[in-house]
Each structure stands twice: as structure tokens, then as C-alpha cells.
Amino acid sequence: MQPFHTIIVLFSLSCVVLSQNTQNINVLLVNEENNALAEKAFEVAKEYVRRNPSLGLAIDPVIVVGNRSDAKAFLENVCRKYNGMLSEKREPHVILDFTITGVGSETIKSFTAALALPTISGSFGQVGDLRQWRSLSVNQTKYLLQVMPPADILPESIRAIVTKQDITNAAIIFDEHFVMDHKYKSLLQNIPTRHVITPVKSFSKDEIKTQLRSLRELDIVNFFIIGSLRTIKNVLDSADENQYFGRKTAWFALSLDKGDVSCGCKDATIVYLRPTPDAKSKDRLGKIKTTYSMNGEPEITSAFYFDLSLRSFLAIKSLLDSGSWPNDMQYITCEDYNGKNTPSRTLDLKTAFQEIKETPTYAPFYIPEDDSMNGRSYMEFSADLSAVTVKDGASIGSRSLGSWKAGLSNPLTLTDADNMSDYSAQVVYRIVTVEQHPFIIRDDTAPKGFKGYCIDLIEEIRKIVKFDYEITLSPDGNFGTMDENGNWNGIIKELMEKRADIGLTSLSVMAERENVIDFTVPYYDLVGITIMMSLPKTPTSLFKFLTVLENDVWLSIMGAYFFTSFLMWAFDKWSPYSYQNNREKYKDDEEKREFTLKECLWFCMTSLTPQGGGEAPKNLSGRLLAATWWLFGFIIIASYTANLAAFLTVSRLDTPIESLDDLSKQYKIQYAPVNGSSAMSYFERMANIEGRFYEIWKAMSLNDSLSEVERAKLAVWEYPVSDKYSKMWQAMKEAGLPNSIEEAIQRVRDSRTSSDGFAWLGDATDVRYQVLTSCDLQMVGDEFSRKPYAIAVQQGSPLKDQFNNAILQLLNKRELEKLKENWWNKNPNAKRCDKQDDQSDGISIQNIGGVFIVIFMGIGLACITLGVEYWWYKWRKRSTIGEVTRVEPAKVVRNVADPADRPEYSFRSRNQGMTNLKRKF
């Protein structure tokens, strides 16, 4: 019996020693109604302490569960429980605050701070988010502690993904397991990403589809879903039905749940981030879950509250065991608190909490050493990043991309950065445009269906600002004007209503447009309004020199020529003093010209030329006739020469319009801009301004309150301000504004002459291009109302700064000048037009070339005549009789001037068969 008695004594002694080392910890647990997982984890921690007596702990908890939104009732319940603990002499060593967020949670923070109760909180919130704990003293930060739960730190991975992927827009959708109210500003702060944070509205698929459509209409292409796997599946299924999967969108899923992402998607790839327990903690986690039935989901959240509870118990025990717990801890009831009697504490709970060496169940806590814990402490877990591919509702593979270490600013750790870039939404901007040569030209063979100056420009910009684009024409074909009701149309309307991201064409920067959209820096010089008219067509003719005189004049000259030649022949034939009738008298003269009819015709012809007519007739009547012909010819030639010069010059002096003032002062030529264009707005507004000025002047002139001196200063007979634009606008409306550039050009081409037709007033670049590609149009006058061209974007769009930077780089590299050179000087559609006659130029070959034809015709006729003469001499027929050569007397040539005065005979021989007879006598 003695050994057994000894064993009993030893057991009793050990129990006494153990009871002396066991610390009773009074805990006031404050929780929310919808956070049952935290309370269950607390119970597991309490059971863990109970089953492990070596810890030397005994937990005596008081639990208060309240409604987050009913702060008053919540506080009353807490105060009642707390006051009950004080009355029972069970002052709480620590307050475990498992409230999540909201006024109820802030009420508990105010309660603990006011009564100076050591508190460890698992509420959501980063630095400064716990409003009631913002202005804590140094001592208070040592016993009012907060550790962010995993659901509060997981969204920080979005910042890492956005930064790594260079995402410019994002929608963050979360469910009830996450609190994002305090993330709206801080999550993507100082990152140029346009983003929306919104909760999942319901579990109804139709409502989720509507919600996604609303987000998509905001031009969002990157979607982040934070929630349970069930929430993620519902959102992905809705997105699939909306056909939101493809290269234009990217989907990221973040969850604290175990398991893989699933959905009924036809073809989708989702980047999935989920936490995993540390390798050192896996065995402990499995043991706790098995032994203590800690099977709440998500397991990381259960592990967090378990570790937070156990670590709090051990920290209080450490303070009690080490004697660091004050012996004179004072507690006051809620009723005793008057706002100024907060007890003073010197308790360093933070250090004790930090020094606990208990093995973590999931991942260790990160606690800053030299700073407050609140808003900076969290469970430092790791999360795996993978790409999950789903086809026809089944997952066909998962590809590991890297990992992320939980933290407030930790980056992603990627196995291959290029792999991650494959899962980004390709940034595709919607460009709206209006076809305007050479800036925007429709071309179905081009990669985007368009070509031109602006297409080359946007291609250069996209090399600097990485993006893709799709381009469409403005639905109504307008650039954008505002009506009387303030409503816009065209490109401006598309940008205002978020149906387009970029307005790209020859769009002028105007003040009223800048009120509703944003413009980049100009990419093109100042461009004004100018006039386009049909080019005067100067009629040309190779025989224009013949049109100087009318046909009846030419016929009259020809009649006079033949009549004079005939009279000269008649006078020479019948005058007794003519050469042929008085040969003896003129036998010693060197000039012996017999005026036959042929010679008379020749004489009259040569008399009209600088060569002169030659020897004049001998008879006085013939000479009088010749002198009369010479006088006639001199007058005719002088008149012809003068009129020819004037006739060739007058057509080049037809320049009726040289400026806008010339156009406004005439009435033969109609003129107008294209309806709805900036040029139309300019003239309409100038006319309205003149009208308002007139009304102001009239009101001033008719003001009865003016003194006589003031009225005298306004006493003028006529309105002193020009009304040019009012008259022009009226003329434009009467002429009818064309509805398109093509219509305007056609009306210009239909003009009969440059002084009677239609003139189009449009942007100088449009006019210059039409003149460049046509030879029948001209640009008239200088430019006015000059404005630059720029790219339009939505108001407040980050594209403005990005494009500004790109355009300035292109400007510095002189790339914009190269674009101008390519689309203006080297434009493949440019026409090489004939040079127009200028007053300083000579007479063109088109107008005087007929004289060359005349001389070539004369030369040709002379050559033909020579051939006829040669043939006549060589091959004329001769009379033949047998082989005897017959000698016939030739024509007797009488020469009365010959001294012998005898006829001479010569004989021509014809071969009559006598071969030996000489042909020369």
C-alpha cells in the first residue's frame, strides 16, 4: 500500500503545482451576427487550450453578438455584459473585437478606447480607416491592436496585377465576404487606372448580366471578381452569355476558398489567384482541422481567427507570468465614463503579442516593429497565380504563372513575365471618324479599312502608346455641331455618349467643343477657310490667228485682192504707157516686168508682206492702183496685228474673284459652305454677332436716358459697323448649302465660267487637296478663321496625356513633317496639270501653232509643185512618126529690145527612128 500512497501524493502535488501555473484569462468576445465563422474559430481555440494543459491557460469568455447597423443596441448589449463582468469581479483581460466594419464596429472601437480596455481587433481597415482609433496616443497603440483579416489583404493583389499588366481600366466586383468601402480610394491610389469598385448586386444571372453590360458601356475591359467560388461562377457564366470573353477583355478571379474556378463558359481563360498554406504550417492545419473539427470555410479565415484568438490568450498569459500586467488595473463602467476619465494604461500588449512563438496554423502574422500595428499588420500568406482555361464548360488545363506574397505593396513573382502578358486584355480603342481626303480615305484593302494622313499618325502614336483600335465612320457623317437646344451630333456626340474613345480626322479645335470633350495638342498647323472655284478655261486654237477677223472681213479682203489684181492686169493691158504696149520706150530700163494676170496676183499678194510687191507698173493708172492697194494693205495688216495681240491677251485677264471681299461684293457667283461644317458655323456666328451688334447700337441710339451730349456722340446717319457677313450668310442660304463636299465640288464644276457659277467655302486642306488632284479647280484668296487640327478624346480621358506625350515626341523627331510630305508633295493621286497662261508669259503654241501648219502646208504644196514641174518637163508626151526625128519650130520669142530685131528659131527633135541624128543643133 505504501507505493500506491506515494503515487497519490505525487499526483496531488503535481496538480497543485499545475493549478498554480495556470492563468485564468477573462475574455470579452464582441462579434457580428454575420461573422459566425470567427466565433466558431474562437471556440476551437478555446478547446485547443483546454486540451493542451501544458499551455497553462484557462479561458473564461463572455460573448456578445450584435447587429452591424444597430450601433445603439449593440453598444447597450456590450456595456451590459461588460458591467456584469465587473460586478462579478471578472474584469476582462482582453477584448477580442471580431466585428468587421460599419458603425457597429466603430462603436466598439470607441468603447474600448474610451474605457482603455486592452483590445485585439480583426476588423477590416488599413492605416487611418479605423476612425475611432485614428488619433491614438503612443501608450494606446500598445494595447489597442488590429490585425487585418485575409479578406482585407487579398484585394491588394489587384494593385500588383494592375501595375504588372499596365492596366488602364478595371472593374472590381466583390461579394458579401469582402468589404471594399475603404478601398475605393486607397486600392489603386496613384496608379493611372480608371476603375470601378462595385458589389455583386444579386445571384440572379439576369441582373448580373445587366450589371456587366453597364460596366462594359463604361469602356472597361479588365474585370476582377473577388468572392466565393460560387460568386465567381455566376459572374463568369453571365459574362459568357454576354459574349464578353475574347482578346478585348481580361478576367481575373480572386478567392479565399479552396478549389478550382469553374463555369459554363464556351471558351474562356481566367487568371486565378488563391491562397495556399505555408509548407511549415500544413501539418498543423491538418491536425487542427481533424482533431478540433475546424472545418469552416474559407479555411484561411478560420485559421486567421484561430491564430488571432490563441495568440491573444498567450500574449495575456505572457504579461501575467512576467509580472508586466499592472497590479492596479482600473476599470470603470460605461455609466461612470464622462468623456474625460479614461483610465491611464502602461500596458505593452503589442510587444507581448509580437513575441509569441506559437506555430501558425496557416501563415505567420506580419507585425511592424517600429510602427503602430493598426492598418499595417496582417497574415502574411502566399497565393498561387495560375491561368485556367475553360472550354464548353469544362476546365481543360491550368498553367502556373507565379505567386504573390500577401502585403500592402508587394509585387507579383512571375515564373515568366511574357506568359503573364498573354493574359492581358488587348487595349482596343474605338475610333470614330469622317472620311476626309487626304486625312481619312476609305480603302477596303487597308488593314483597318482606312488609309491617310491620320491613319499614319495613329500608327505612329500606337508605337509609343501601346494599344490597338477599331475604326468606324460617324453615323451621321458630321464632325460635330451644336444645335439651338445644345445638342451635339457627329463625332462629338459619339465621344460624349461614350460610344467612341477617340475622334480622329481633320477635326478643328473649337471653344464650344472643348466644353464637352478634350483635345490633344495640335498635330497639324493652323488651317483656315478659303474659296474654291472652277479654273477659267482659256479657249485655244491652232488657227486662232484666223479668228481675229470675222469671216465676212476675210471674204471681203479676198474679194478686194482678186478684184484689184484683175484691174491691175486690165490697166496694164490697155494702157498705152504700160510696158507690154510700149516696149521700145522702156527697152533700156533694168526693170522690165510684164504684168500678166499671174504677175498681178503675185504682186498684190507680196504687197501685203514685209517683202513688198517688187517692180511697180509703168503706167500711171497702174501705179495709182498699186498705191491704193498698198494703203489698203497697210491698214489691214496694222489692224490685224493690233487685234491679234489684244485677242490673245484678253482671255488671260479674266480674274473676277481674288478674295472674300470680292466674293461678297458681287452677285453673279453663288457661294456657300457645306451644311454642318465648321465653315458654316463661322459664317452663321459672324452674321449673328453683326446682328447683335446692330441691336446693341440701335438700343444705344434710341435710349431716352442719354444726355444731349451722349446722344450727339451717337448721332450718325448710317450704321457704323460692317454688315458684310450678314449679307453673305443671307446669300449663302439663298444659294443653298451643299450637304457634302462631293455635292459642293460638283456645283463648282458645273459653273459655266469663273464669273458666273458657284464658289465653295471650305477648310483650306480640303480645297487644297481637291486642287491637288484636279486640274479644273483653283484655290482663291488667303485663308481666314484659322484653327488647328487635333485628336479628340472623351472628357477626362487619360488618353489625352498619353497622346500629348506621343505627338510631342513625333514633332521633335520631325515625323509629322514626313507625313505632310508623303500625303501632299508625294501624294500618288496628285495630277500634273498644264501650266496656266500668265500675263507675263508669251503667246502659247496652242494659239499660234497654226502658222507653222500654214508654212508646212506651203512647203508641202511647193514640193508637190516641184514634182509636177519635173514630170511635166521630163515626161510630157511628144508626137512620133516611125523612127524619123521630126524637127518642129519652137515658139517664136520676140525680143523687141534685140538690136537685130529678127526672130530666132530653135528646134526640138523627137526621135523618129534615126539613131545617128544629133539632138542638138
- Specify whether the CB–CB gap between 28 and 60 falls below 8 A: no
Q: Is 12 annotated as a binding residue?
A: no
Residue of 473, 507, 434 whose CA lies nearest to 763: 507
Give start and end residues of each alpha helix (H) in 124-200: 150-153, 156-165, 183-186
Length of the chain: 921
Residue of 95, 83, 81, 109 lying closest to 335 (CA atoms): 83
Q: Which three cell numbers stand for residue 320?
A: 501575467
How far apart are alpha carbons 770 and 775 in whole angstroms? 9
Q: How far apart are CA 869 and CA 875, in angstroms?
A: 10
Quote the crossing angle between the two packed helices 299-322 and 282-291, to the nearest 10°: 90
* 148 three-state secondary structure: strand
Grid cell in block for residue 339:
468623456
| 175 marked as part of a ligand binding site | no
Measured CA to CA, the distance from residue 709 to residue 697 in angstroms comes to: 16
DSSP readout, 747-807?
A: HHHT-SBTTBSEEEEEEHHHHHHHHHT-SSEEEEEEEEEEEEE--EEETT-THHHHHHHHH
698 SS3 class: helix
Say how far apart CA 505 and CA 521 lie, in whole Å. 14
Report helix, strand or coil for 222: strand
Provide the pairing of β-strand 441-442 with 450-451.
antiparallel
Is 513 among the annotated ligand-binding positions? yes
| Of 813, 162, 221, nearest in space to 463 by CA | 813
Q: Which amino acid is it at 683?
A: F
Residues 708, 700: Cα–Cα separation, whole Å: 13
- Alpha-carbon dihedral 806, 809, 811, 813, rounded to 10 degrees: -140
Say which residue the cell 477635326 belongs to.
507
Burial of 328 (0-12, 13-18, 19+ CB in 10 A): exposed
Angstrom distances, CA of residue 824 to CA of 40, 134, 194, 852, 877: 78, 65, 39, 40, 74
Is residue 652 within a helix (H) or strand (E), and if so which, with residue range? none
User: Residue 58: which region, alpha, beta or left (left: phi > 0; alpha: psi -120 to 50)?
Assistant: beta
Measured at the alpha carbon of residue 639, what is the angle toward residues 636 and 643, in degrees to the nearest 5? 140
Of 743, 730, 213, 675, which Cα lies nearest the Cα of 489?
A: 675
Q: Which three cell numbers stand for residue 533?
A: 472655284
Q: Are strands 502-503 and 792-794 parallel, antiparallel or unpaired?
A: antiparallel
C-alpha cell at 381: 500568406
* Centroid of chain to Cα 525: 17
State how far the Cα of 530 lies from the Cα of 673, in Å rounded to an integer. 10
Closest CA to 347 of 131, 146, 119, 147: 119
CB of 226 closer than 8 Å to CB of 198 = no
**Dist. CA 829–CA 822, nearest whole Å:** 11
The answer to whether 230 is annotated as binding is no
The DSSP output letter for 450 is E
Q: Binding site residues for L-glutamate, as ranges?
A: 508, 513, 678, 763
Q: Binding site residues, as ranges?
A: 508, 513, 678, 763
